[in-house]
Structure 1
Amino acid sequence: MTDQKEVFIIGGGVSGLGMAVQLRRRLGHQNFTIFEKSDNIGGTWWHNRYPACACDIPSHFYSYSFHLKPDWTTTYPGRDELHDYFMSVAEKYDVIRRCKFNQMCLRMIWNQSRSLWECTFQDTVTGELTIREAAVVVSAVGTLDRPYIPEIPGAALFKGAAFHSARWDSSVKMEGKKVVVMGNGASATQFVPKLVEEVGPKGQVTQLVKGAHWWIKRGNPRYSESFKLAMKYIPFAARIYRVFLAWELESTFYSFFMTPNGAAMRNKIREATAGYIEKEAPAEYRDILKPDYEPGCKRRVNTLDYLKKLHAPNMHLVKDRAIRINEHEIETESGQVYAADVIIYATGFLTQRWLFPMEVRGIDGKDLQAAWDLAGGAEAYKGTVITDFPNFFILYGPNAATGQHSVIFHSECQINYSCRLLRPILKQKAKSIMVKPEAQKRDLTWVHGKLQGLVFNSGCQSWWMDPVTKKNTFIYPDPMFKYWLRTIFPIWSDFDIAQDGRPAKTTASSRFISILLLTLLGAAAMLVMNLKVEHLATGSIANVFVPTRHSLVTWN
């Protein structure tokens, strides 16, 4: 083990844990360390503890392909069940003892002469700094883990409790309190109904929102015991079910195309959301709840009972913006004043501050953030590697997701792709691997060129876009099965692989073989998906996320 090169994984969430496991499974590599800034693994599912916190992707697909769980209790599991699942993965593959908790990476500098990354870490409890070296660094810091709290004049004067929903303060007793919630995204839609119940008849929940969403009505079916047994004992049943769920999620992407078929699918989304609002929301709030932008511009929001809960007498929804916070109240742009004992910020995350707070310097001291600023936003070859930054990999990287799919699926695509690229480094004698500038430029030109034909670039405002340059740094411009296909076989001629400080030779045949295999796989997959799209353009996709047709699924 001591002869193996060391790999640092920054972040112990879903992607970091998956990377650690696959280093062992795919490469037999044992010399790795996970550096996690908090005191446990799990990332999002460790930090988020707000009431009713749950996943909005079906459980059997929001899980690792190498660690299937046949006994999920419901279609959309809660936070505790999800975290228990990730802990079971860490325990099975003996990952915990390879973790260093309360460690935040502040700086990474590439030492070209030694082919090593020199990394500076800070203990988040004591503040102590340490410098460590590794041949390879994998960033798995994620993007939905750095809460954004708007700067509002007077916030420091507030006498009550104030916190972000991703850092929920469970010590605050809500009963009888006047609570102001800012924001109405996926998190708020989950916790507001529970919050209304917690404050009780003597309390009040006021929700300030700036916009609306394309709401999706969903239940949360419980899996029956017979279904669980089928998933466990019938050969390939769980994998076939995963393919079905992936198919359903994948089909949504075709509504993003600015084509007649795409427009027809978006119209059905409009009709479904409008009907849902008219049926379940109070008349006084319907205009506030109706979005004024194209379906697909933002991630759609699944809701179990949010619209119904707006009927509660102690619930008040208003389209307004806080402009000042006083000791016991909030002033809004419209001139209204709301009394407040508690303020909850459901205001999202710093999604465009990629890799924050890390400073990353590559060949000749090149600063990664400066390079991204010059480019108008974060970018990477296939969302994973960057020219001038050898032996550095980014999971959940730029333009590597569709926004309506399982984050675990596209993370696994990147993890497996990274393992393939790491084979010359960890299993052979190569010193470093780096994508060539022309290959990265070609890939990015294709990505952002194809994005022009999708709904995301139709004037959208969302956290997927850089707020200044309007560059889309998140979305992959094709269905995720195509991303999977494109990451199966590395095009080795796109990389410089150095052995003993000298570039290694690459062959033209490697590119030809990779393209040929991808073409054959892609043709088969496209045939199947095109049949699905023809059906979706004329049929209903209102229930695309709800796999309740299976006879072995029962409702609560």
Structure 2
Amino acid sequence: MGGDMPWPQVPVGNKDHTEAAVVIIGAGISGLCTAIDLIKRNNCRNFIILEKSGGLGGTWRDNKYPGCCCDVWSHLYSFSFEQNPEWTREYPGQEEILQYLMGVAQKYELYRYVRFNTAVESAKWDDAEKKWKTKVSVQGAKDAEFGSTYTITSDFLVSAVGQLNVPKMPDIPGVDEFRGKMMHSARWDWSYDIRGKKVAIIGNGATAAQIIPEIAKEVGHLTIHQRTPNWVIPRLDSSIPPWKRNLYKYMPLIRHRKRADMMDYRESFHAAVFDNASATAQFMEKVSKDHMRAQLPDRPDLWEKLEPKYSIGCKRVIISDDYFPVFLRDNVRLETGKIDKITEKGIVTDGKEEEYDVIVLATGFRTVEFMHPIDITGSAGRTLSSIWKEGGQALYGVTVESLPNFGMLYGPNTNLGHNSIILMIEAQSKYINALIKEVIEARRKGRTLVIQPKVKRIQEFNDEIQSELERSSFADPNCNSWYKVKESGKITNNWSRTVVDYQKLLSSVDWSDYDLSGSSAEKLAGQKPTYIGRVVEESQVSYKTMGLAALSFAAVGIAAALRQKQAGRLRFG
């Protein structure tokens, strides 16, 4: 298949269907980024992307509920190396994001590497062979006729499954007894006509805040079951006119500057979500309160129910212009009572049953159970469930104890509350590819290399960031969130610092962080850190400096023109 190309430039073909240099689990943003870096940075095409669904896009393929969109600006929620001048809105919708990701995959010819409808059941490290054995099941009916299960052997394994992957069902008695239509927001059934129906939605987080304004206009009646209120700030979304899109397309420097301004602005909000005593946090709370009172004038009864009693940033801040006005509609009711149970006909709240045609579950994902439900076994037969019995943790959120030649993206403590996750993913992809480079280079030379993080270093890093997180708004005891383990309160999902801090941290590989073994280990032992670099996207030059530079250039130009004019007069005067 590869002609005269040397390994690992040869793509996996029929004869080596179950062997690869690298296996990537997931064809979402993280998986695509890792694959592109494999090609660009390592000239490696001997990899397989395993995707359990029938298409790529990850969370942006799964979540297609009414109103689904991103709460990060479109020009920032995209790869730095594939900036898109054609975004039609400042905040992109789900379908436009998915179209963008499909376009990126087509440009880099990634479809040839993806095995769709292929779910990973387990992955086990073989200490003797020094390879991963990944067992998959084929979900597609016709494809399963060729072989319903098989195992892939690889030198390196990458998890790109993310944190928002497996829908979480609410822990409510009788949830399986309802005989009407029930659907989770991440499994929206567009074949079902919701118009005129009596609907209940359980949950009022970021997803619900997008669904509610859309379906309220169509349903007969909507009851919103709120457990705790959320901080909501204005979205100020708008379309991007054609002339601006042309400007971004034909003057890329302007587009790059816009992205840098967006990153600067978002980074400045780190204090708001991290330190509730900061001026930024106090300002954001005031903005939210003013926003609510302006959209719900003279309704102190609603203000009391919709204003949070916890620090801003403890839970995900909602960005919306049309959430609050929903509560002024005659066909909408806010329910703040405790749900006792779900019955065949509806929901019992504080002892009173209400019947519904439809129940929408906007109850989020199993976020703290990273890589669930895949069964992972590392060196010496250690399972990931036993390694993470007290909650997920990883060195820099990327490499895991007892999992050799393994890397993960959007892993423990790498989620953000203030900026674009893609900025984190790109740094992780570069870092993981630096590890992969050494492993496949060793194999190319007929040697072996095993890389796994030192337990002591993982613990040091985790203790450091947990100490920071304990002082943050995320740790506010007055709220529960998907950022932390319910039982212990340990914050397993969020990063404690800024994006730039994280990018700098991952800009080089310090080999002293790792236990190295195999016949190529000596090459790296004692070696200085390998510098990877990072994408510098924050502003390097202020507008004031640019303005002064422009004035200086203009002054020089004017002076030169005057001198030329004066010289002309002297010659011909």
Which of the five TM-score ranges fits, normalised by the shorter chain? 0.7 to 0.9
Q: Is the 8 A contact 1:436 1:496 kept in 2?
A: yes
2:266 matched to which residue of 1?
249
Q: Is the 8 A contact 2:271 2:281 kept in 1?
A: no
2:237 matched to which residue of 1?
220
Cα distance change on mapping 1:160 and 1:435 into 2, 3 Å: same
Counterpart Cα distance in 1 of 2:500 and 2:128 = 39
Q: Is the 8 A contact 2:135 2:149 kept in 1?
A: yes
Counterpart Cα distance in 1 of 2:498 and 2:311 = 19
Q: Is the 8 A contact 1:497 1:504 kept in 2?
A: no
Q: Is the 8 A contact 2:275 2:281 kept in 1?
A: no
RMSD between aligned residues:
2.5
CA displacement at 1:321 relative to structure 2 = 2.9
Counterpart Cα distance in 2 of 1:256 and 1:297 = 7
1:236 matched to which residue of 2?
253
Counterparts in 2 of 1:162-201, with a 5 A limit? Answer: 162-199=182-219
Please tell me whether residue 83 in structure 1 is matched to residue 98 in structure 2: yes
Counterpart Cα distance in 2 of 1:492 and 1:289 = 50
- Structure 2: give runs of 5+ residues left out of the alignment: 9-19, 545-573
Q: Is the 8 A contact 1:253 1:402 kept in 2?
A: no
What amino acid maps onto 1:83 in structure 2? L
1:285 matched to which residue of 2?
302
What amino acid maps onto 2:334 in structure 1? L
Please tell me whether residue 354 in structure 1 is matched to residue 370 in structure 2: yes
**Mean Cα displacement is larger for which, 490-499 or 376-385?**
490-499
Q: Is the 8 A contact 2:50 2:118 kept in 1?
A: yes
Q: Is the 8 A contact 1:498 1:504 kept in 2?
A: no
Please tell me whether residue 413 in structure 1 is matched to residue 427 in structure 2: yes
Task: Choose from 357, 364, 367 the match for 2:380.
Answer: 364
Cα distance change on mapping 1:64 and 1:526 into 2, 3 Å: closer
CA displacement at 1:86 relative to structure 2 = 0.3
Q: Is the 8 A contact 1:329 1:340 kept in 2?
A: yes
Q: Is the 8 A contact 2:273 2:418 kept in 1?
A: no
**Mean Cα displacement is larger for which, 224-233 or 467-476?**
224-233
Q: Is the 8 A contact 1:116 1:136 kept in 2?
A: yes
- Structure 1: give runs of 5+ residues left out of the alignment: 532-556
Task: Choose from 148, 166, 173 the match for 1:146.
Answer: 166
1:117 matched to which residue of 2?
132
CA displacement at 1:528 relative to structure 2 = 9.3
Counterpart Cα distance in 1 of 2:186 and 2:538 = 38
Counterpart Cα distance in 2 of 1:175 and 1:258 = 44
CA displacement at 1:290 relative to structure 2 = 0.5
Counterparts in 2 of 1:380-459, with a 5 A limit? Answer: 380-428=394-442, 429=445, 430-459=448-477
Task: Choose from 462, 471, 474 the match for 2:481.
Answer: 462
CA displacement at 1:461 relative to structure 2 = 2.0
Cα distance change on mapping 1:514 and 1:90 into 2, 3 Å: closer
Q: Is the 8 A contact 2:272 2:278 kept in 1?
A: yes
Residue aligned with 1:15, SS: helix
Structure of higher RCO (CA pairs closer than 8 Å, 6+ residues apart)? 1
CA displacement at 1:155 relative to structure 2 = 3.2
Please tell me whether residue 471 in structure 1 is matched to residue 490 in structure 2: yes
2:14 matched to which residue of 1?
none
What amino acid maps onto 2:339 in structure 1? A
Residue aligned with 2:334, SS: strand
Percent identity, aligned pairs only, is 31
2:157 matched to which residue of 1?
137
Counterpart Cα distance in 1 of 2:252 and 2:329 = 48
CA displacement at 1:48 relative to structure 2 = 1.1
Q: Is the 8 A contact 1:27 1:427 kept in 2?
A: no
Counterpart Cα distance in 1 of 2:296 and 2:450 = 57
Counterpart Cα distance in 2 of 1:113 and 1:528 = 54
CA displacement at 1:412 relative to structure 2 = 0.9
What amino acid maps onto 1:192 in structure 2? I
Counterpart Cα distance in 2 of 1:28 and 1:35 = 20
Please tell me whether residue 296 in structure 1 is matched to residue 313 in structure 2: yes
Counterpart Cα distance in 2 of 1:235 and 1:458 = 42
Q: Is the 8 A contact 2:274 2:313 kept in 1?
A: no
How many residues are paired up?
516
